[in-house]
Amino acid sequence: MGTLGNGLPDLPPEWGEVVIPDDPAELAEEAERVRDELRAEARAARRAAWRARWRRRLHLPERIDDPDQPSLVLPLIVLAIAVVITLLSLLLIAWPGLTGGTPDAPQPGPPVRPAVSAPAATSPTSSPGVSLPPTPHPPGT
């Protein structure tokens, strides 16, 4: 790299030929692209700072798989979730009226008489081979 006549060094050769337009509006598209890149870098830096802040608050290592600094946070979170689910299931089972309830027990119907065959009685009104069960008479008749 040489120097220009004004004492400033030349531009690096890998930059190629630099052309400065007469109208700055010609650079608007490139300027917008550069602004987008800068915004993306700033957004990534803010996210990284936010993550680092929470890692410090929760005493997490920089890398989760770091064998030199094992962390108990993940096992504790899993244990807390298991305890909450267990307590909720016990509450759901034990709390009366919280679920739909159990259906009422079926009411018993009329008593069932056992089928007993009696010897056929011969009477003029009954047909042969058919026996009718005795009918109860109301008291006092």
Give tens-digit pLDDT for 43-70: 999 999 999 998 888 877 777 666 776 6
| Residue 88 pLDDT | 93
Greater confidence, 5 or 84? 84
Q: Which residue has the higher pLDDT, 40 or 132?
A: 40
pLDDT score, position 138: 64
The proportion of the chain whose per-residue pLDDT surpasses 90, expressed as a percent, equals: 24
pLDDT at 135 over 80: no
Q: What is the pLDDT of residue 35?
A: 96
Cβ(2)–Cβ(10) under 8 Å?
A: yes
Does the pLDDT of residue 109 top 90, yes or no? no
How far from chain centre, in Å, is Cα 133? 67
CB 59 within 8 A of CB 71: yes
In order of 27, 29, 68, 103, 135, the CA distances from 58 in angstroms are 47, 44, 17, 50, 87
- Count CB-CB contacts under 10 A for residue 60: 17
Tracing tokens 């957004």 back to the chain, one arrives at 43
